Amino acid sequence: MTPRGILIVNKPIGLTSTDVVRRVRKRFGTRRVGHAGTLDPDASGVLIVCVGEATKVVPYLVNETKVYETTILFGSETQTDDAAGEVILERPWDHISKEDVLVALSALQSETSQIPPRVSALKVDGRRMHARVREGEDVEPLLRARDVDCYEIELLEHALPRTICRLTVGKGYYVRSFARDLGRAVGSAAHVLALHRTRVGPYTADEGVSLASIDANARLIPIEEALTHLPRIQTTRVAAMRLRHGQRIRLGDGIEFQGDTAQEGIVLILEPDGTSLAIGMIEDTTLLKVLRVFAPVSEASISD
């Protein structure tokens, strides 16, 4: 049987997210592997890896809330906004008090937009920013603020020239940009010295598996277990067959909606046996449309 499900990896420092995907492909013997939310090589922690049919749910996992713990070093700004980059600006840091940091953190938490780092995977006119920087291009004029969500920032430790913070943020938030902006806000410069992603949605780094422990028999979290944040539609055998053929169905016509309202209209559609059938959308409050269909776990799942 083709492997299918979600793997929570506790990524070590020194590997790219793509490196992790390559290793998981080899361990499970399939090329259908992807990740939901990149981690930089110098960062560690939770990386959600999707295997087989679960690669179809990546867009519905990247929106999960993320928690980071980061060590910020004051006194210098780097080209990459982390310790791997060349120092491009130096400023005094010995004047920074804990109170200064707390005031700056409060202001940064209330910000609803953020300018991405110079070096990132973002594309502008079809080319990634990190490729432009490697070629010597001045990318500053291309940087544009983007809408972000920062739900909470906690100061865990302050011992100059370092400070340690915990951030709870939404999709697309750059901790490297946070470090850069924090340094400027306290009249200095700063970059990320260390970064650890402790949580993505309900999954924590402590429950993540190491790459060394992954083998072909490793447990994969079922799609329906990983998407508990989505409202659900329970189908009958006939309704499941109609949906697999791309037909739209009205609620009550052989299907039952489990929930009060659908988040952005997106729902998880279940087979009669409770396994995942498809990702769907409710239109006009009553009409169910299929967006992504999963191959059945077994033929029995649609023929009972």
Amino acid at 232: R
| pLDDT score, position 300 | 34
Residues 195 and 72 both lie in one domain: yes
Task: Determine the pLDDT at residue 261.
Answer: 46
Question: What are the beta bridge partners of residue 287?
Answer: 250, 283
If you average pLDDT over every residue of the chain, what do you get?
Answer: 88
Q: Is residue 112 located within the same domain as residue 177?
A: yes
CA angle at 211 for the pair 120 and 22, rounded to the nearest 5°: 55
Examine the fold and report which residue of 223, 257, 289 is the final residue of a domain before the chain moves on: 223
Distances (CA, A) of 88 to 39, 85, 120, 131, 181: 24, 9, 17, 19, 15
174: its two tokens: 């750059």
CB 25 within 8 A of CB 225: no
**pLDDT value, residue 135:** 67
Q: Which residue range(s) make up the domain with 248?
A: 230-302
| 72/54 same-domain check | no
Residues assigned a catalytic role: 40
pLDDT at 259: 57
Residue 150 and residue 272 in one domain: no
CATH number of residue 270's parent domain: 2.30.130.10
Read off the pLDDT of residues 218-239 as tens digits, 9 standing for 90 and up. 889 999 999 988 888 888 899 9
d(C-alpha 145, C-alpha 177), whole Å: 11
Quote the CA–CA distance of 149 and 164 in Å, as a whole number: 20
CB-count exposure of residue 119 (10 Å: 0-12, 13-18, 19+):
buried
- Give the number of domains in the chain: 3
The answer on 210 and 196 residing in a single domain is no
**Residue 158, beta-bridge partner list:** 163
Judgement on whether residues 284 and 298 belong to the same structural domain of the protein: yes
Residues of the chain with pLDDT under 70: 1, 135, 137, 141, 253-254, 256-264, 298-304
| pLDDT at residue 229, as a whole number | 85
> What pTM value is reported for the model?
0.88
